[in-house]
Structures are given as structure tokens and as C-alpha cells.
Amino acid sequence: MGLNAKNKKARSKERAAKILIWSAAVSVMAVLFFIVVYILVKGLPVVSIGFLTEIPSNMGRSGGISSTIVGTVLITLVAVAIAAPFGIGTAFYLAEYTRESIVTRIIRFCAESLAGIPSIVYGLFGFIFFVIYLGFGYSVLSGGLTLAFMILPTIIRTSEEAIKTVPNIYREVSMSLGASKWQTIYKVVFPSALRGIANGIVLSIGRSIAETAAVIYTAGSVLRMPSSMFSSSRTMAVHFFILASEGISMENAFGTAALLVILIFFINVVVNMLVNRFIAKGR
Amino acid sequence: MDYKIKIEAFKFFYGREQVINGIDLNIPKNGIFSLLGPAKSGITTMLRAVNRLSDIVPGARMEGSILLDGKNINDADVNVAELRRRVGIVFDVPAPLPMSVYENVAFGPKLLKKGKAEIRALVEESLQTAALWDDVKDRLNTPAQSLSGGQQQRLCIARVLALKPEVILLDRPCSGLDPISTAKIEESLIQLKELYTIVIAPHNVQQAVRISDRAAFMLSGDLIEEGANTEIFSNPVHKRTSDYITGRFG
Amino acid sequence: MSKYVFFILALSSISALALITIFIISRGAPIIGEVGFFDFVFGMTWAPGRGEYGIFPMIVGSVTVTLGAAALGVPIGICCSIFMTEFAPAALRNFFRPAIQLLAGIPSVVYGFWGLIFIVPLIREYLGGPGLSILAGAVILAIMILPTVISITEVSILALPPEYKAGAMALGLNHWQAIKTVLLPAAKSGIVAAVILGIGRAIGETMAVIMVLGNAVALPQSILDPVRTLTTNIGIEMGYASGTQSQALFATGIVLFAVIMLLNAAAQFITRKK
């Protein structure tokens, strides 16, 4: 009798908890779905071939967004090209060349701290260091380098995790066949970890494209087509921010936002799927 | 007798833990030498010390010496990669590298920057000697992971043969395999012993009886006794050896 | 040989952090010295035109918006990770995970924009006030910290040995009791780290909240009042600031940087202790 009542109470509590948890999950999905659909419904009608290929005119009120697409691509390329070697190299050092020591702890602490620094602080730093101190001015180079600092910790962490999942027996086999440490890393560990490393780089590309605060005061907001690494350029995210916050053109803001959302979706989901497909694990 | 490997007063430590307590052992040239004993006897450690794979374990330390053809393998002037090519090892789990069948066997020769034709010939020869050629000759470019467990283990033997080693170490190479695959591997080993010095940790006493010329019994890091197949299995000196080979413990 | 090459590459994270620290501090510290640390941090007036630099209202803004975001986002986030690890059928889980990734990937400006055209009018209509408010910022940030909270909590729950749950249920606890009395306490340090990192993310967010907070430099009286945070202060005025005003923005950055570093260190300390 007593036990039964207790069981009943416990069971109704469990039911309540389950309902709460399910509703939290469903509402998060609903909000995500709502945001994405809202942006796409309002924005996609604006997107046309012209929108993609024309240079913005009249502050972005008319014309397309082609120069901001080019700016985004260039800045992201600079960021990844700089951050990837350093990040992957750091990951290999941490995972393959050292045991836990004071040095690795300091490196890890710095990497994790970098990961937590707000993007606006990266923006401040990029402005004072690249734009002013090194004299790169508002430019693709300044913006890309600032983003490189920002995505470095992501690349370090994802690469290190990928390297750690490579079974130790591979290293032993390779060494037992007469390979040096470096040959083992280059011929066995790196190919096996490539998929995870690539996922991390894709993630970083997504973050670079989505970033605003770190690039607006380093790459600037010039709407012209960038002609060199030293041209100031506006990224899609910055363009969207300026259009929306200054109320220049809600229509074009929605169009840009829709493209950004599609691009992010494409990169996070589709590209990662392709990476997983073509860089099969353990092959 | 002509000894290939001489182990003298050999001790091994992982950090503070001593796993081998000072053993002396002579392994003759060509033939199959079994190192048997229950788990935690120090056999895996012993095998890995012979090609200095134990170097890569952090905190590992050894005392005494291991001589290969009279030369101490831990001398400063020994090239470790070269030593590992002379002393190949096959692990207790089939461990193909994540690449094709061909690339697995060619891995060692490629490190030596041999010519393409030479490598190709070496791969074929090694696979044939390991009795795997007929199974895989039509799928050299498929991933090695797609082979069966027994085929994978023979691939690992072929991979070692491609190094043209002098000594082959095998650490319980048949532990996960079915009896047919085991028989095939044993057959290959018996053929190989004419040319190579084979040191094996057999996966049970019966296997040691079937294939070895000489055998040694190790227990908890000590060498209990060592002798020719006919003596040690039919007429062991120590009680613990006879208890082990008759299955009283282990 | 290769070891040294990798070691030099590995110094990049140390040098990056050092460069950032040095340049932000060297640019911002002089103005703090000029105004005085106490007057800078606790000063009530921010009037660059008159040379008055007090960031206390922004500190209050950052704290209130962040606490609001945590209060809304953390419980929902933890529920979501319990859902993913314990209740979701496999098919749903496989859909959920990339969806959360997408949530993390959407540019912050898009969230801000959505807040501006959807949340802000909603608040103005039903709760009163200008709509641009602490509440609007908290709602947007709550959504934005979800991926951080969910993924770290999920990882720490998944890292528990399966015997914990099996053992608890073998003792006659039902699923929810097992979660509440065994799994969540065992994953506590991970969950705390998740919350701290989520809070760090919320404090650091700039562009999304610029669009919904109203950005008034005054002490808010209610959650329906507009505020300015440390980050938005920098984001808004960087575009045209020069001279001492620009230095004051870097000084704001120093305060922000210090708070974030403390939070990071706390999160790292908690996760490492395990």
C-alpha cells in the first residue's frame, strides 16, 4: 500500500519531468525552425542572379551584394590559410610530441582562453595591432589576420581531438616498420586524423563567415570590389548588420541574411557530410 | 651453438613497477623459439624490448643488455629504424594500417625509397611467402580492413617480410583467430624458420608444442626454465613449468 | 628535428594571447590611470564629449542581460541535453545534433535582427516600454548560449560510465530518478563549466545585442528598460571614436577581457579538477 503510493508519486514525477524535457527540446527546435524559415521566407524572394552578381549601389539600397561575397571569401581564406598550419601544428605538438607537462598546460590554457575571448575584443586587438601598429589599414589582410587569431583555438581543439582518436597501434606498427616519428605522423597519423581536422576547419570557415564584430573595425566597410589584400572590404555579415541597424534597406538586409543562413547551413551540414563521405575514417 | 639474440641480466621497469626481474636467455639462429607463460609474465615487454619498440612508452627503463649478432642494440651508435627493420614484429591483434592491402606491405620498403618495380616485386614475394597472395592478388587496392581477421594477420606477417628482416617477433599472433586461420599461420611460420629467427609468444601451450624448436617458460617477470621442445614439454625440470603446461594454472 | 618545428608552431597560442593582452592593455590602461580605476569602474556618467568616462551603467547592463540570458537559457539547455542523451530516439537525436550545430553557426547579427523585428515589438506591445530592453537582449542571448550549454553538458553526461545509470536503475529507481540523483550530480562539474562558458559567451556577445538593447547609458529601473553593455559600448562608438574616447573604449575592453579571463580560468579549473 505505502510502497504503491510511493511508486505512483515517483511515476507521476517522472512523467512531469519527461513532459518538461520534451517541451524544452521541442521549443528549442521550434525557435530555430521559426528563425530560419522567417529569414528564408522574407529573404529568398530578394535573391536573384543580379543580387549575387551586381555590386551594391546607393549604400546598398539597390544593386546586389557581389563585392561583399568576394570580401567574405577573401577574408575567410586569409584566416584559414594562416590559422590552419599553426593550429594543426600546435595540435600535433600537444598530442604527439609531449607528455603532459607545465609547457603543455600553458599552451592549453592559452588556447582555451583564446576560445573564450569575445569577438569584439579580437576586433579591438585587430584594429590596434594590424590596422594601426602594423599599418595594414582597414583591409582584407587585417580582417583575415584578426579572424585567424579568433579561429586558432577552434582548429587546435578539433585537430587535437582528431589526432587523439587515432588508435595507438597505428603508431606502433609504423614505428615497428622502421618509420621515424615524423614519417609516422606524416604517413599514418595525419591521414587517419584528416577527417576530424577537416571538420574543424569547416567549422572555422563557418565562424569566419558569420563573424561581424571582429571584422567591422579591421576590414572596414567599403562597398567597392576589393582589388588587393590591402583593400578595405565589407563582408556579408557586416553588410547585413549595416543595412539592418541603420535601416538602409530591410529588403536587401533580408536577402543577405537568407544567403548567410543558407551558406552556414551548407557549410555546417552539407560540407561536413561530404568531408565525412570522402575522407572515410581509417582508410 | 650459433646464437642470434643474447639477453643478459635483463630487467625492465615501467616507472617504478618492475616487470622483468633480470633474465638471461640465448636464442639460436633460425628456428622457432617460444616464450610462454600466463598473462603479466613480461613476455610482451620482452618481445618489444628486442626491437626497441619499448622506447616509445613513456617512463620505460631497462637494465642489462640485449645483443643482436653480438652487438648491443641499446648502444648509442645503433640506428633504431634500421634495428626495427632487422627485427620485425607482429602484434596480438591484427593491425593493418588504414590503407590498401598493397600500401600496407609496401609501407616499409617505401620508407627506404626503393624503386617502384622493386617494391612491387617485394610486395608480391612477401604476400606469397605469407600464403596470402592467392587471396588478395585481385584486390590489392582495397582497404586492408576489408580482409578477414586471419588474412589481416597474414598481411601483417607479409608486411614484416617485406622489410627483409633477420628476426621476426610474434606476440600471440593467433589470439583472435579461428583454428583454420591459426593452422595457416603456423604452417607459414614453419616454412619461414629456415630463413628467419622466429620468436613467438604462442597463444597456448599446444601451439608451442606444435611449432617450436625451443621454448622458455616465464612467470611474473622471471625466467623459470628454457630448453628444447622435446625436453621442456615432455620432461620439465620445474614443478611450476609442468603445472603450467599441464593446465593446472594459467 | 621535427619536434622543434612543431614546438614553434605550438607557441602561436601563447604569443597570440600575449599580443592581445599587451596591445589592449597598453592602449587602454593610460585612460584608466587618468580617470582613476575607481572612478572608471564605478563612475555613473559616460560622456566622452565632456571627458567623463564612467562605465558602471554598462557593467550593470552586462550583468543584468547576462543573468537574464542564463536564467532563461541554462535550464532549457540542460533539459535539451538530457533529452538528447536520455530520451530522444536515435533518429531524432541524429536530427537534433546538426540542428544545434546550425543554431551555433547562424551569424549573431541574424539573431539580433530577428530579435529587433520580432521580439522587440512583442515586448513593446504586451509588456510595455520601448521594447528595446534588457528582456529582449536576455531572450536573444538565451537562444545564442544554448549550443554552448547543450553541447558541453551533453558531452559530460555522455562521458559518464554506463554502469552509473544501470546501477541506479538496478536499485529500483525509475529513469528520471536515476537522472536526477545519479547522472546529473555525477556530471556536475561539466554542467557548471557549461554554464560558465555560456555566461562568458553571453557577456562577450556584441552585434546581436546592439540591435535589441536600446543602448541608453543609464541605470535601468526594470527589465523593460534599455541598457548599454560593455561590449555594445565598444561596438557602437568604435566607428567614430578617436583620441581619449578610443582609449576609453580599449579600457572598457580591458574590463571585459579581465572578466572573461576570470570566467575561463574558473571553467578550466572546474573541468580539470575531475
Cα separations in angstroms, B224 against A225, B22, B37, B202, B249: 81, 12, 10, 17, 15
Assess C159–A contact: CB distance below 8 Å, yes or no.
no
Q: Measure the CA–CA gap between B99 and B108, rounded to whole angstroms.
A: 13
Q: Is the pLDDT of residue A1 over 80?
A: no
Rounded average pLDDT over A153-158: 95
Distance CA A248, CA C266 (A): 43
Q: With an 8 Å Cβ cutoff, is A18 touching chain B?
A: no
Please report, for residues A64, A66, A224, A242, B152, the alpha-carbon distance to residue A50 in angstroms, rounded to integers and kept in the order given.
6, 9, 16, 20, 58
> Beta partners for A176?
none
| Arithmetic mean of pLDDT, A61-65 | 89
For C12, which of A152, A210, A212 is closest by C-beta distance? A152
Residue B234 CB burial class (10 angstroms; 0-12, 13-18, ≥19): exposed
Domain count, chain B: 1
B119: in domain: yes
Closest partner CB to A257 (pick from C110, C235, C267): C110
CATH of the domain at B7: 3.40.50.300
Q: Is B53 helix (H, G, I), strand (E, B) or coil?
A: helix
- CATH for C2-273? 1.10.3720.10
pLDDT at B39: 84
Residue C111: its chain A contacts at CB < 8 A?
Answer: 35
Q: How confident is the model at residue A3 (pLDDT cuts 50, 70, 90)?
A: low
Of A99, A169, A281, the CB nearest to B93: A169
Answer for the pair A64, A54: CB distance below 8 angstroms, yes or no: yes
Kindly report the pTM of this predicted structure.
0.90
Q: Report pLDDT for B1.
A: 63
Residues A176, B89: C-beta atoms closer than 8 Å: yes
Q: Is C247 on the interface with A (CB under 8 A)?
A: no
**What contacts C35, CB < 8 A, 6 or more positions away?**
C43, C53, C54, C248
Q: Which of B86, B107, B146, B163 to mutate to test the interface with A (most CBs of A within 10 A)?
A: B107
Length of chain C (residues): 274
In CATH terms, the fold of domain A49-278 is: MetI-like fold (1.10.3720)
Contacts of C203 (CB under 8 A, 6+ apart): A118, C62, C66, C229, C230, C231, C256, C259, C260, C263
Give per-residue pLDDT as tens, B200-228.
999 889 999 999 999 999 999 999 999 99
**Contact flag C113-A240 (C-beta cutoff 8 Å):** yes
**Which has the closest alpha carbon to A114: A85, A147, A89, A140?**
A147
CB contact (8 A) between residue A123 and residue C82: no
Query: Burial level of C1, CB count in 10 A (0-12/13-18/19+)?
Result: exposed
Cα separation, A201 vs A193, in Å, equals 13
β-sheet bridge partners, residue B36:
B217
Is the confidence at residue A155, as pLDDT, over 90?
yes
Å from A119 to nearest chain C CA?
A: 7
The residues on B that touch A, with CB distances below 8 Å, are 51, 53, 56, 58, 81-82, 84-85, 88-89, 91, 93, 95, 97-99, 107-108, 111-112, 143, 145, 156, 159-160, 163
Q: How many CB atoms lie within 10 A of CB C17?
A: 23
DSSP states of B192-233:
HTTTSEEEEE-SSHHHHHHH-SEEEEEETTEEEEEEEHHHHH
**pLDDT given at position A280:** 59
Higher pLDDT, residue A10 or A122? A122
Decide if pLDDT at A2 tops 70. Answer: no
* Residue A241 host element (H or E): helix A236-245
Q: Would you put residue C215 in left (φ > 0), alpha (ψ -120 to 50) or beta? A: left
Nearest by CB to B58, which of A99, A191, A283? A99
Mean of all residue pLDDT scores within chain A: 91
AA identity, residue A28: V
Q: Do A191 and B107 touch (CB under 8 A)?
A: no
Residue C40 in this model has a pLDDT that exceeds 60: yes
Q: Indicate whether C231 pLDDT > 50.
A: yes
**Which residue of C109, C122, C158, C256 to mutate against A (max A Cβ within 10 Å)?**
C109
In tens, the pLDDT along A210-258 reads 999 999 999 998 999 999 999 999 999 999 999 998 989 999 999 999 9
Which residue has 579461428 as its cell numbers? B178
Whole-number Cα distances in Å, B174 to A194, B157, B166, B210: 32, 12, 21, 14
The mean pLDDT value of chain C amounts to: 92
Q: How is residue B47 annotated by DSSP?
A: H
User: CB neighbours (10 Å) of residue A213?
Assistant: 30
pLDDT digits (tens, 9 = 90+) for A113-140: 999 999 999 999 999 999 999 999 999 9
Q: What are phi and psi of B89, to 5 degrees?
A: -135, 145
- Contact residues, chain A, for C3 at CB < 8 Å: 93, 97, 181
Instruction: Give the 3-state secondary structure of B20-39.
Output: EEEEEEEEECCEEEEEECCC
Q: Is B93 within 8 Å of A188 when comparing Cβ atoms? A: no
Give the residue from chain C lying closest to A150, CA to CA.
Answer: C16
> What residues of chain A lie within 8 A of the CB of C132, using their CB?
none
**Which pLDDT value is given to residue C273?**
64
Q: Which amino acid is at C210?
A: I
Are B35 and B218 within 8 A, CB to CB?
A: yes
Specify if B250 maps to a domain.
Answer: no
Chain A: partners with 3+ C-beta pairs within 8 Å: B, C
The full length of chain A comes to: 283
Nearest-Cα distance to chain B for A184, in Å, is 10
With an 8 Å Cβ cutoff, are A253 and C5 in contact? no
| Extents of the domains making up chain A | 2-46, 49-278
- B23: β partners: B10
Give the one of A27, A90, A92 whose C-beta lies nearest to C13's C-beta: A90
In a domain, B188, yes or no: yes
Tell me whether residues A39 and C175 touch, CB distance under 8 A. no
pLDDT digits (tens, 9 = 90+) for B42-62: 999 999 999 999 988 888 999
d(CA B148, CA C10): 41
- The tens digit of pLDDT for each residue in B230-247 reads 889 888 889 999 899 888
Cα–Cα distance for residue pair A62/A82, rounded to 1 Å: 35
Q: How many CB atoms lie within 10 A of CB A147?
A: 30
Separation CA B69–CA B50 (nearest Å): 12
Residue A157 has pLDDT above 60, yes or no: yes
Q: Are A118 and C203 in contact (CB under 8 A)?
A: yes
Distances in whole angstroms, Cα of residue C168 to Cα of each of A3, B192, C134? 18, 55, 42
Say how many CB pairs under 8 Å bridge A and B. 62
Give SS3 for B87: strand
User: Chain C contact for A245, CB < 8 A?
Assistant: yes
Cβ contacts of A179 on chain B, cutoff 8 Å: 81, 107, 111
**How close A167 comes to chain C (CA, Å)?**
19
- Over the stretch B144-176, which tens digit does the pLDDT of each residue have? 999 999 999 999 999 999 999 999 999 999 888
Nearest Cα of chain A lies from the Cα of C86 at a distance, in angstroms, of 10
Instruction: Return the ∠ at Cα B14 (arms to B10 and B19), rounded to 5°.
Output: 50
A283 has a pLDDT exceeding 80: no
Element housing B18 (H / E): strand B17-28
Supply the pLDDT for residue A282: 44
Chains C and B touch (3+ CB pairs under 8 A): no
Alpha-carbon gap, residue B4 to C233, rounded angstroms: 78
Burial B8-37 (b: 16+ CB within 10 A, else e): eebbbeeeeeebbeebebbbeeebbbbbbb
Which residue range(s) make up the domain with B229? 3-245
Q: Which of B121, B94, B98, B122 is nearest to B108 (CA)?
A: B122
